[in-house]
Amino acid sequence: MLVDIYLESHATAPERIVLDLDATDIPLYGHQPERFFHGYYDSYCYLPLYIFAGDQLLGVRLRPANQDGAAGSLQEVRRLVAQIRRRWPTVKIVLRGDSGFCREELMNWCEANQVDYLFGLARNQRLTSIIGAQMHQARLLHQTTGKPARIFAEFSYQTKKSWSCARRVVAKAEYLDKREPPLRGHLAACRAVGCAGFI
């Protein structure tokens, strides 16, 4: 029903839609079934999965908090994409989520089904060393101009075990004088989208 409402809210098919995946907590205060403690939220909660297109909710799945944040996302995405493409067969679809959704099965499905994606990528020592020059350049640029500095980089990357192939990664090194820490790096695994506009 939520997808039908979204589709009917458009007079014509858009050229591209972005589906945002998100998991967040619903705090629990009693002893409800499937009640588990979640360390990140520091409480007992449920961990529902939400899928939005802009400000419109297209899907939600209530889940216990004792599982991976991406659990069930492939099934929901598969269902939503099929429903959208029945009405709009040529629309370009971009799937977007934080590093909790940067999972092999989801990226592999997207690649096999012509769905572009942009998922945050958690930093590790190897990735930090790859973007070390850009981080240094952002710091120097900030020192020279006194303004926030952003440097982008793009490279191919493959994990040692969890990814089946090398994938495109876009990195943003930035130095912001009003935030702590001022020097930050953002990484995203992506397929066929203008990633710099999204991170």
Q: What is the pLDDT along the chain (199 residues), one digit of tens a residue?
A: 999 999 999 999 999 999 999 999 999 998 899 889 999 889 999 999 999 999 999 999 999 999 998 999 999 999 999 999 999 999 999 999 999 999 999 999 999 999 999 999 988 889 989 999 999 999 999 989 989 899 999 999 999 899 999 999 999 988 887 665 666 778 888 886 665 555 5
Q: Which long-range contacts (CB under 8 A, 24 or more apart) does 135-140 make?
A: 135/173, 135/183, 135/185, 137/173, 138/173, 138/174, 138/175, 138/183, 139/175, 139/183
Which residues belong to CATH 3.90.350.10 in the chain? 2-120
Beta bridge partners of 191: 117
Provide the pLDDT for residue 144: 92
Tokens 């589709």, residue? 7
pLDDT computed for residue 70 by the predictor: 93
Which fold, 2-120? Transposase Inhibitor Protein From Tn5; Chain A, domain 1 (3.90.350)
- Our measurement of the distance from residue 77's CA atom to the centroid of its chain's CA atoms, rounded to an integer in Å, reads 13
pLDDT attached to residue 198: 54
